[in-house]
């Protein structure tokens, strides 16, 4: 049973306001009467007598009965005020009890809805699972303190179930795309909400999971972070990659890396097809035997004059605008030494944009090819002119 805490809802707040109005209406008549009782004798006393003068205490116009009557009215007025105050206190207590009862009933109702959604999440039909995920997200968004942590665990668990079912069918492309994308978005939204509001949530295990179009920020990614997971069109923002990644450690087809750092990161045989690298920095990173087909590099700093791509498939890789003003100011340039024994599947799929670098580079097919494709060399254009 999930923790149930009293939360003021819109309906509860409206009922609380109505009850306070009723209490105020009941108390305003004795308060008005008491005010009149006090105001009249004070007006008469101050208007007809001098409070500190001789007449007030025993002059010719001294009227003992009138003074007694006035003071009796004053005492009665204060008594009326006290009774009215007591009435207000009693009504406040009754209102508070009624409000607490209504809150508890409301939270019981919300808890019942949440439990029904969790049960529905275990259905074999996708449409019921989608409805359950949407209902859980709605409840967790309205009551984050109570249900965000539970929602995070449920979303991650459901994505892991989807991944396991797909792998069992040996059909990694057969994910229910809309369901995976929607659930992934809810998962990271609630993680971010918990971080901002400092709500405790259990550590999320992202291994053996499928994530659709997730936006992952400020994360140190190691080979164990997404081991065995499928990341569909993931968006990495300001993440740092460290360690040796084997093919099963990182599958990121169609991913986008923005302002990411690759420091001592080594990718072996990974699939980076149709990925994008923007405004990042490659320090000691290296890609070995990776499929980079259709990848794009924009404003990426290559810090070391050493191989970055070794025996990689580089078909239609776009390096245009890589050697940007930012790189020139840093004294960093993409050079021919960053490529070693790279290949393309088709001779007409050579990388583009290297001729716009500083110094500009020229690509030449070596004529060698094997089962992995056709090999090509990358050389500065100045060297090719000297050879001629």
Cα separation, 269 vs 278, whole angstroms: 22
pLDDT tens-digit series, residues 346-362? 888 999 888 877 778 88
Q: Give Cα separations from 125 to 21, 167, 176, 179, 276 (angstroms).
A: 50, 18, 12, 12, 35
Q: What is the DSSP track for 98-165? A: HHHHHHHHHHHHHHHHHHHHHHHHT-SSHHHHHHHHHHHHHHHHHSHHHHHHHHHHHHHHHHHHHHHH
Looking up tokens 């790279």 gives: 342
Mean pLDDT of 173-191: 87
Which secondary structure element, helix H or strand E, spans residue 184, and what is its range?
Answer: helix 177-197
Phi, psi of 41 (to 5 degrees): -65, -35
- Which pLDDT belongs to residue 13? 36
352 strand-pairing partners: 318
Q: Which of the two residues, 15 and 60, has the higher pLDDT score?
A: 60
Average pLDDT over residues 154-169: 83
Q: What is the pLDDT of residue 1?
A: 34
Q: Answer for the pair 242, 221: CB distance below 8 angstroms, yes or no.
A: yes
pTM score over 0.75: no
Asked whether residue 283 carries a pLDDT value surpassing 90, the answer given is: no
pLDDT at 275 over 90: yes
How confident is the prediction for the chain on average, in pLDDT?
78
pLDDT in tens, 20-54: 445 445 555 555 555 555 555 555 555 554 444 44
Buried b (16+ CB within 10 A) or exposed e, 38-68: beebeeebeeebeeeeeeeeeeeeeeeeeee
What DSSP element (H or E) covers 73? helix 64-121
Element (H, E) at 220: strand 220-221
Angle in degrees, 0-180, between the axes of helices 144-168 and 64-121, rounded to the nearest 10: 0
SS3 of residue 386 by DSSP: helix
Structural domain boundaries of the chain? 10-121, 123-205, 214-387
Instruction: Classify residue 1 by burial, with Cβ atoms within 10 Å: 0-12, 13-18, 19+.
Output: exposed
DSSP line for 11-23: HHHHHHHHHHHHH
Residue 11: pLDDT band with limits 50, 70, 90: very low
Supply the Cα-derived Rg of the chain in whole angstroms: 38
- Beta-ladder partners of 67: none
Q: With beta carbons less than 8 A apart as the criterion, state whether 269 and 290 touch.
A: yes
């Amino acid at each position: 049973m999930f923790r149930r805490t009293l939360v003021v809802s819109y309906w509860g707040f409206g009922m609380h306001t109505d009850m306070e109005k009723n209490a105020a209406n009941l108390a305003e008549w004795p308060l008005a009467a008491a005010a009149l009782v006090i105001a009249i004798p004070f007006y008469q006393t101050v208007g007809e007598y001098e409070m500190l003068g001789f007449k007030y205490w025993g002059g010719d116009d001294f009227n003992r009965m009138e003074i007694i009557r006035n003071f009796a009215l004053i005492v009665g007025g204060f008594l009326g005020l006290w009774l009215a105050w007591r009435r207000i206190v009693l009504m406040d207590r009754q209102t508070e009890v009624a409000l607490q009862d209504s809150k508890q009933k409301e939270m019981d109702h919300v808890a019942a809805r949440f439990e029904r959604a969790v049960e529905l999440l275990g259905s074999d039909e996708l449409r019921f699972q989608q409805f359950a995920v949407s209902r859980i997200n709605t409840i967790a968004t309205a009551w984050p303190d109570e249900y965000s942590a539970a929602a995070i665990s449920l979303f991650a668990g459901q994505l892991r179930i989807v991944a396991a079912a797909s792998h069992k069918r040996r059909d990694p492309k057969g994910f229910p795309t809309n369901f995976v994308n929607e659930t992934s978005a809810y998962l990271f939204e609630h993680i971010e909400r918990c971080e901002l509001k400092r709500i405790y949530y259990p550590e999320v295990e992202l291994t053996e999971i499928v994530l659709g179009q997730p936006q992952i920020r400020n994360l140190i990614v190691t080979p164990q972070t997404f081991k065995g997971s499928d990341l569909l069109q993931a968006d990495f923002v300001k993440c740092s990659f460290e360690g040796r990644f084997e093919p099963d450690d990182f599958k990121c087809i169609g991913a986008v890396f923005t302002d990411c750092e690759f420091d001592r990161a080594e990718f072996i045989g990974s699939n980076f097809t149709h990925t994008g690298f923007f405004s990042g920095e490659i320090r000691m990173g290296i890609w070995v035997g990776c499929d980079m087909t259709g990848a794009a590099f924009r404003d990426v700093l290559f810090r070391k004059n050493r191989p970055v791509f070794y025996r990689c498939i580089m078909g239609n890789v776009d390096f245009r605008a890589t050697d940007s003003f930012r790189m020139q100011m840093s004294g960093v340039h993409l050079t021919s030494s960053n490529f070693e024994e790279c290949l393309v599947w088709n001779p007409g799929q050579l990388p583009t944009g290297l001729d716009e670098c500083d110094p500009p580079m020229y690509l030449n097919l070596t004529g060698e090819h094997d089962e992995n494709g056709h090999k090509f060399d990358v050389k500065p254009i100045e060297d090719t002119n000297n050879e001629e």
